[in-house]
Structure 1
């Protein structure tokens, strides 16, 4: 069982404080618990912020439901809710709520618990956290926003009460049987305005499940089915519900004329729980009151929606959750994954991923979907290990049919390369490429670069009025450029948009922008449909603008990951950005100029960029695993500098913050003769991107670091003879794939025992991966996934006649 944390908040509330908090931690493989204590001070503003968030959510949800013609699973709205609400205001309120909650949980009295958990738990473990409290407000808080859940990405939080008991008494005979299938009682309530048919379709696709559908049942009918003696594993409700009834109890609208509370079904539910009911799912609105009422009956687990939920959100959550759970994933992990997958809908339905909530009875273990019976069990004679290694009866030995092997290999290779050519394999190939990139051994930070970063602390210490919407004031920038210039960097690359004039009271800054040929700034082309881009600083003379302005060169792939860089591009006619080269590339050229190394073109029909002997071959629409990209400009793959993970993520070069540089003595060697790239890393500027090294939201890379990776990549190629990323032609890739397909076909013809075949096939897969890895260390991107598919395809196809032959021999 995965690690478990029970966080008992004790007595008190948010306004008065929580003086006696107890945390108990059960680690994997242990029976005893680790216990630690703490406290939380009063947080009087948190309830007000949450209640305001709740009112604005309901208003925004109501408005968006009409705009998007989206149904909702609630029949009532709070009449005190404001009618008009700005999406921007709501986003800011969400951030304020998250920030206030984490400031509270970062209080000194709670740190003893936080530190103990972080010391004992691994970030790779799926951790269950149960927050025990009887306070309705504390139960309603979005605990998944706790920063601990971000740092431990497999963690999910549930709500529990401070009093609970075992759910079951003496079990019935049916409950004691191992579950051959999961019995689900699916109640489809009043369906006006929502699509309950989709809920039915989702349930019917569940493997190993027996579904009993009740469509708009009467109260007696529902009560009777809950008493069913065969017992239920899951109770599922889809329809309308509310917590805003006159009796302040959660109510389920089971048909157009009837609604029931949990109290109305109390005896039937108690009986179902005592027999076998392990999980209830209320895929309906505003379910917190329902959750509190069911928890009082000691139900093991319950999943509800904390607020009104749009129909699309409800369908997507239950579809993903049940599919993941049925695959054998633990319940808490299934909820977290399905909840996070709702984030894709938050452009239309804000806070969709905040809605699902788990209620947990701490005395019970989480529900686990039953696994199918062991397929290795059979009536064949002999011990299991003998059957594994030798098989019940080996097929006869046979010679390789070379014609058949070649024909099969050509057919499978043609099919795979055809799918590849139309882009069907692009996503999986890029993910495999990312995995290989992450596997490379680390390199030290590039000592030719220095990153000066502007973080949240730096920004808070500056006047917003003086910043004028930027991340640095003219005064700080003037001081920074003066400090850097004193230590003689080769290049200063300013990754900060400045389309406004510097204040005249800073003549040194104005002069640096105007005359310092070692200072490079940035602009953006923008998009024709939305504007003319972002212009460079107006102080720059037109005569030198091409040599001193670079464009922002991020090109995300379809999965929003940056793997490519544009080095050169023609500025659009209607753009206010006149640059022709990217910022990182321009910084490299200015750096190499001091070594008398210049950019040139190859002497070919289709010239390529060249620096010394290094030719920067541009990508085209069919390069490596790419087959659907827009190959505009002069693009290359970014050979990200491999670096071991640290607290600051992937470090391409040494970093120093703005305030640290200006307020503390700095080693001149960090600056002299280096490319100094200045950029902000504050999350509010939203300049963070996925790269091949990104495996979670917290591992995204800032834009200034991506410019540094591009610069380091080209400098290492020109000065250190490190390879650029190269690929074969499509014909070369095809021959490589054909070779592995042919190898798989030969393998099947020579092996007589299936388990030995598995071992040899596994060894070939490892050899394939190792070959692709070693070639990537030399810069080569080989088609790993197509070759793997070809190898396994010929093995699978070749096994068919072998099995038929074996069956014939047995007869």
Structure 2
């Protein structure tokens, strides 16, 4: 399902800037609203004006002026290299403007919430004509998201009121071939004539009366225009030249257009020059969507765009993706037609969903219509009776179709097609958990921004606090008798030795209950790694390597992994495992470490199997012993560095606890997303120290409190689960007679499946394959319905001897 981003530029212009810019993102049935601003950039207006003059002049010089008219302020001495330089400047200024700091809150959050594989519709909402003319597709955002495409919109719009019309199973196109003096529009006509499943009416250089009558008297799905057009009054008004002597503005046939939209007109294509004025005027009538050309367009460019768009759109590709593909294919013409791929642009009513070719044809409505006709013909013939009024498909047909759908679903899942959706479903169920109590066995000592700013000390390397301060902290904590202390702060470089200090860090780190952090080498992201503090034996080291899923969320923890031989961090154990083991040793519970699991007493933490564990099927590295993080929906017991050093902490908060020391200051970039992040407004990441705390807590809670360990079915168990729901759902739908009841049955089955998966997760920690199971149930049900309806349609009534 595509995602929608509406970027609104309010209350300003390029000379003043925009004090309020909002981005609304519809993402997984949720609405996110992000605010920012944009600074003044008056030079962008001047660069665009120069670009426009050079664009027209270059095309005239190259002989491509069939649909392009050069204005009075012509530039006569121009080279293609000059034009290329202005194009480059325009791209740089647009991206510099959109990378300005006041706008970065919007871009950062969009990039957090969106995936590279998402299909994204980006609508720029403004009333400023110049902004509509800018080539927004040059924004680097569209390079990073290959399935994103731009559309334009006015600020004010409403939902079109559409009257239900009869289904014809054909796309009704009104094609206006207007004034063609000096241009060739026969190719446009031939591409439309070659389309299947269409009924096209051509108006060749019509009069105003002929055009008006067609719009009033017929139902149209698509309005197409080819010929001369222009935007006048600084782009505020658009006009089309319908014949050699007449031109019309949108307002001159507004009533007819409004009627056509009410009766189902969904798409207008103006394959003509300078269509921004047309789009702005027609948008006021709330037409669902349009395609226009920003500037003057050469014949061959207009023809190639139309051909490529119609081929991929009628072939089933989504509207926005079809426009992007057809637009980008124009780049191959740019040796002869510079900036050809800049010209086509969508204008969208944000209240409507982009139409598909199948919907223009009438979708699947033909099945029900034909079924009703068949039933009526049987009833109206008294001497003819059908042996079976509604013939059901046989059981073997149900099982065979269900098997095909289920095997297809399982294969797609194995290939990783549902991974993103399953991880998002994991989040949705996770946030249903009720609040839990604090885990009082753990205490976080956080180094806050205030702690850092109040201690401006000389250190070696990038450090939040000095070795001297850290030594004092350890010394204070040890007096309160914690069971184990974990240092989640890298200490790979020691500060210069200061013998005048009575407390030395090396001395404190020699204590047996202290575990320090290091980081393993990662060939892709961190080829060096981070070494542990000097002198701490490997038995008291723990790696803090974190793993993020493709959407940036931390759902897994690595308990053990083999380190790269050249890594500066040698320990095979994670910091969280070391701290949990240290605490549990006081309970006389020792770990049993295996290559496939870690066991404390009767509790076994089984690793996720590489390539075949829950929603992780193909795209995620599950090396080492990785388990799912069973986050607590609660805050953390924490004190600040200053509280400890100033003796403001009750000793009972520390005694017999796991104490974890880490940084929560905003200036330290160590924040991570969890399944709860997206559910928080605004989107909220948490410092890494709290992730470590959650990981330690989940081990202790599982071993000592019987809290569930998150787990998944084996690969064959997932297959049986998906098959079982698909078969049971299909059999129930097969037995239900009424079509409306079948739809209700599918809905009830899906809701039941969701509840079962949610209860299993919340009560037992079992992550079941919800998304593929839902797809299998719905797809199997739809296939059964289609088979039954098809057989009803082809049921031939035969006479019975009376």
Give me the TM-score of the superposition, normalised by structure 2.
0.57
Matching residue within 725, 729, 739 for 1:744: 729
Partner of 2:672: 688
1:292-371 correspondence runs (5 A): none
1:437-495: CA deviation from partner (whole Å, max 9, x where unpaired): 3333342443333445567x659947999677746242896398369726655444343
Residues 488 and 660, structure 2, Cα contact 8 Å, conserved in 1: no
Cross-structure match for 2:580: 588
1:719 paired with 2:713, answer: no
1:335/1:743 CA distance change after superposition, 3 Å: closer
Q: Does 1:615 align with 2:615?
A: no
The residue matched to 1:685 in structure 2 has which SS?
Answer: coil
Give 1:714 shift: 1.3
| CA 49–654 in structure 1, closer or farther in 2 if over 3 Å, else same | farther
| 2:172–2:222 Cα contact (<8 Å) kept | yes
2:494 to 486, 495, 501: 501
1:56-71 alignment runs, 5 A limit: none
Deviation at 1:657, TM superposition (A): 6.9
What displacement does 1:795 show?
A: 4.3
Using the TM superposition, give the Cα deviation of residue 382 of structure 1 relative to its aligned residue in structure 2, in angstroms.
12
1:410-421 residue pairs with structure 2 within 5 A? 416-421=409-414
Matched, 1:653 2:636: yes
SS in 1 for 2:494: coil
Quote the residue 1:556 is aligned against.
Answer: 549
1:349 alignment partner in structure 2: none
Distance change in 2, residues 1:399/1:291 (3 Å): closer
Q: Retained in 1: the 8 A contact 2:446–2:663?
A: yes
Pairwise mapping of residues 525-604 of structure 1 onto structure 2 (< 5 A)? Answer: 525-528=520-523, 532-537=527-532, 539-541=533-535, 544-557=537-550, 559-601=551-593
The equivalent of 1:117 in structure 2 is none
CA–CA separation in structure 2 for the residues paired with 1:554 and 1:18: 39
1:478 match: secondary structure: helix
Could you say which residue in structure 2 is the equivalent of 1:633? 624
Choose 495-504 or 406-415, whichever is displaced more. 406-415
Q: Evaluate the alpha carbon distance shift between residue 442 and residue 249 of structure 1 in structure 2; reply closer, same or farther with a 3 A threshold.
A: same
| Structure 1 Cα separation of the partners of residues 194 and 437 of structure 2 | 51
SS at match of 1:699: coil
Three-state SS of the structure 1 residue aligned to 2:712 is coil
User: What residue number does 1:678 align with?
Assistant: 662
Can you list the C-alpha shifts for 1:580-606, whole angstroms capped at 9, x where unaligned? 11222222223323333322236xxx6
Partner of 1:149: none
Query: Does the 8 Å CA contact 2:15/2:42 hold for their aligned counterparts?
Result: no
SS at match of 2:627: strand
Distance 1:521 1:213 in 2: 78
Gaps of 5+ in 2: 1-5, 23-35, 50-79, 108-120, 140-149, 178-186, 262-266, 296-300, 325-342, 377-385
Mark the CA change 1:15 to 1:738 in structure 2 (over 3 Å): closer, same or farther: closer
1:147-166 superposed matches below 5 A: none
Q: Deviations over 1:738-785 (max 9, x none)?
A: 433442354255433333344344333333222222222212223334
TM-superposed deviation, 1:521 = 3.3
Task: Note the C-alpha offset of 1:707.
Answer: 2.4
Written as runs of structure 1 = structure 2, the 5 A alignment for 1:212-611 is: 268=249, 271=252, 276=257, 416-451=409-444, 461=453, 470=462, 472-474=464-466, 478=470, 481=473, 485=477, 489-505=482-498, 507=501, 508=503, 510-511=505-506, 514-528=509-523, 532-537=527-532, 539-541=533-535, 544-557=537-550, 559-601=551-593, 608-611=597-600
CA distance in 2 between partners of 1:806 and 1:417 (Å): 32
* 8 A Cα contact 2:475 2:508, kept in partner: no
Structure 1 625/529 Cα, relative in aligned 2: closer, same or farther at 3 Å?
A: closer
Deviation of 1:731 after TM superposition, in Å, equals: 3.5
Shift of 1:804: 2.8
Deviations 1:100-137 (A, max 9, x none): 999xxxxxxxxxxxxxxxxxxxxxxx999977789x79
* Aligned counterpart for 1:769 among listed residues 740, 754, 759: 754
Asked if the contact 1:223–1:268 (Cα under 8 Å) also holds between the matched residues in 2, the reply is no
Q: 1:731 to 1:129 in 2, by over 3 A?
A: closer
TM-superposed deviation, 1:613: 1.4
TM-score, normalised via structure 1 length: 0.57
Residue 498 (structure 1) shift: 3.6
Against the structure 1 CA distance between its residues 738 and 479, is the aligned structure 2 distance closer, same or farther, given a 3 Å change threshold?
A: same
| Cα distance, 1:408 vs structure 2 | 6.4
| Structure 1 position 720, deviation (Å) | 0.9
Q: How far apart are 1:611 and its partner, in Å?
A: 1.1
Quick check: 1:778 aligned with 2:764? yes
Q: State whether residues 652 and 709 of structure 1, in contact with CA within 8 Å, keep that contact through their aligned partners in structure 2.
A: no
Counterparts of 1:513 and 1:84 in 2: how far apart (Å)? Answer: 59
1:94 counterpart = 2:99: yes
Q: Is the Cα contact below 8 Å between 2:444 and 2:660 reproduced in 1?
A: yes
Q: 1:512 to 1:80 in 2, by over 3 A?
A: farther
Q: Which residue of 2 aligns with 1:150?
A: none
SS of equivalent residue, structure 2 residue 577: helix
SS of 1:536 mapped into structure 2 = coil
Of the two, which has the highest radius of gyration?
Answer: 2
Corresponding residue SS for 1:619 = coil
SS of the residue corresponding to residue 428 of structure 2 reads helix
Give the deviation of 1:659 after TM superposition.
Answer: 7.8
Q: CA deviation at 1:792?
A: 4.4
How far off is 1:569 after superposition?
0.9
Q: CA RMSD in A?
A: 7.2
- In the alignment, the residues of structure 2 paired with residue 249 and residue 715 of structure 1 have an alpha-carbon distance, to the nearest angstrom, of 68
Name the CA shift for 1:470/1:269 in 2 (closer, same or farther; >3 Å).
farther
Contact 2:125-2:155 at 8 Å conserved across structures: no
- Counterpart position of 1:808: 795
CA distance in 2, matches of 1:659, 1:93: 41
Q: The residue matched to 1:592 in structure 2 has which SS?
A: helix
With 652-661 and 606-615 compared, the bigger mean Cα shift is at 652-661
The alpha-carbon distance between structure 1 residues 742 and 248, as it changes in their structure 2 partners (threshold 3 A), is closer
Query: 2 CA distance for matches of 1:299 and 1:556?
Result: 44
Q: Report deviation, 1:251.
A: 15
Contact 1:7 1:129 in 2 (8 A): yes
Would the alpha carbon gap of residues 14 and 482 (structure 1) be closer, same or farther in structure 2, given more than 3 Å must change? farther
Q: What does residue 171 of structure 1 align with?
A: none
Unaligned runs of 5+ in 1: 24-39, 56-74, 103-125, 146-155, 169-173, 188-196, 215-219, 253-259, 328-333, 340-354, 384-392, 644-650
Distance in 2 of aligned mates of 1:83 and 1:690: 41
How many residues align? The count is 645
Aligned residue for 1:554, secondary structure, equals coil
- Call closer, same or farther: CA 1:236–1:84 in 2, change over 3 Å: same
**Residue in 2 that maps onto 1:624:** 614
Residue-by-residue CA offset, 1:51-99 (whole Å, 9 max, x unaligned):
99999xxxxxxxxxxxxxxxxxxx8989998999999xx8899252436
CA deviation after TM superposition for structure 1 residue 718, in Å: 0.9
